Structure 1
Amino acid sequence: MIDTTQYRLYLVTDDRQDDATIVDVVSQAVTAGVTMVQVREKHGDVRAFINRAQLVKQVLSGSNVPLIINDRVDVALAVDADGVHLGQSDMPAEFARQLLGPDKIVGLTVESMAQLQQAQSLPVDYLGISSVFATTTKTDICHQWGLKGLLSAMAESQLPLVAIGGIDLSNTKQVMATGIAGIAVVSAICQQEDVVLATRAFCQLLKL
């Protein structure tokens, strides 16, 4: 059973950055206090994805920070990652769980209340609530939850919730006040001039 505090400050890599930059960002962010890292690669090159995941895994070695792979169960298996995060159009959670086994982390993005309710019976460990606010890193937003939506999601879910989308230092306190398990950020850490400073500022707000 995962310690839910590991969802608290969940870094998602920016697939617009090259491997060297991602490794540098993850290394600095982990040193400064992020609690989970998801490697994302949206361009469909599986070999590049595996290579990137292996590089990040090396950075995370010995840190106790879980490595999560976005979308691709095959990549998660290939690098023996700690888990996978699935979207609504990816492999069904039931199959992912069968392939990964009972000890790996399986997360699922939900973009509506109906999806959240359906997910309660799935073999997943947490749900990603997307998108909370407007964001430049995700352009195919189906639904913007907002703070009221997060509160409604909390009331409906027995699973830990991680909020993603447009979350930064200015709204983190409001988001966490809904009672969710954690926040996932991309550009609020990855695109900052001082990654360590940005990460530490989040840690301070999150009392990490």
Structure 2
Amino acid sequence: MNIHPEFPYQLYLVISEKDCPGKNFLKVAEEAIIGGVDLIQLREKTVPTKDFLQKALDLMEITEKYNIPLIINDNAEVAEKSGASGIHVGNSDRSPCSLRKIPFFRNKIIGYSIEYLSQLENQQTKASDYLGISPIFSTETKKDTVTEWGPEGLSLIRSITDKPLVAIGNINMENAEMIMQAGANSLAVVSAICSAENPQKAAYQIKNKILK
């Protein structure tokens, strides 16, 4: 099960309105939580900050109802103004070290995307609470990535660091167990839940694979 004491959130939903075609993304989020999602990241890359903030506030009504942390992707202003539980950043975003200097983020969750092995040695990794290993398998929902890690790459990273590892990239019910066995502490899922006919059932099935 690989529960990490510093990051016990094993099923991590990454959601945006665009990832939920034909559905209300707030309803998808609530169904996913009922199905077993432990943490949600709101990723809105293309909307203005004002709209991103409103979506975060709307989603927070649901996450707070179920006592689920809400992580904001890339946008420090939205994270701070919404009072989110934390932020996830990549190499082209505000760095974890710079975020830690902002009073709001001192005790918040900060996730950091790993695209190169050399990042494991830097100060940004030390300042982060968990590492996003992205992508495990290439995916249509995220095209701006560098390395496709695969289970072997994930195992290598696991052997180098004891930081919590969140695996993302084309993860679904079929490969969830294998990726956990390769060393992930948490699985970040997008399409396998957001595009599912029944998001609650999809989350439940993936969670069961994690708990095996």
Q: Bin the TM-score by the shorter chain.
A: over 0.9
- In 2 relative to 1, CA 180–143 (structure 1 residues): closer, same or farther, beyond 3 Å? same
**Are the counterparts in 2 of residues 14 and 187 from structure 1 also a CA contact under 8 Å?**
no
In the superposition, the TM-score normalised over structure 1's length comes to: 0.93
1:107 counterpart residue number: 111
In structure 2, relative to structure 1, the CA distance for the partners of 1:68 and 1:187 (3 Å cut) is same
Name the stretch that deviates more: 164-173 or 58-67: 58-67
- In structure 2, the residue matched to 1:43 is 46
Counterpart secondary structure, 1:159: coil
How far apart, in 1, do the equivalents of 2:188 and 2:76 lie?
20
Moved over 6 A (4+): none
Deviation at 1:140, TM superposition (A): 1.9
Determine the C-alpha separation between the residues in 2 that align with 1:129 and 1:137. 15
Post-superposition offset of 1:14: 3.1
RMSD: 2.0
95-104 vs 11-20, which deviates more? Answer: 11-20
Aligned positions, number: 207
Task: Give me the identity figure in percent.
Answer: 34
Aligned AA (2:153): G
Report the CA distance between 1:33 and its aligned residue.
Answer: 1.1
Q: 1:83 aligns with which of 71, 78, 86?
A: 86
Q: How does 1:1-208 map to 2 (within 5 A)?
A: 3-6=6-9, 8-16=10-18, 17=20, 21-99=24-102, 100-118=104-122, 122-207=126-211
- Following superposition, the deviation at residue 199 of structure 1 comes to 0.6
Unaligned runs of 5+ in 1: none
> Which consecutive unaligned segments of at least 5 residues does structure 2 have?
none
CA contact (8 A) 1:120 1:157 kept: no
For residue 122 of structure 1, give the secondary structure of its aligned residue in structure 2: helix
Distance 1:51 1:101 in 2: 20
| Secondary structure in 2 matching 1:179 | coil
Q: 1:12 to 1:64 in 2, by over 3 A?
A: same
Q: Which amino acid aligns with 1:203?
A: K
Relative contact order (alpha carbons < 8 A, sep ≥ 6): 1 or 2 greater?
Answer: 2
TM-score (norm 2): 0.91
Tell me the distance in 2 between the aligned counterparts of 1:182 and 1:96.
Answer: 23
Residue 4 to residue 200, structure 1, CA distance change in 2 (3 Å): same
Contact residue 120 and residue 158 of structure 1 kept, 8 A:
no
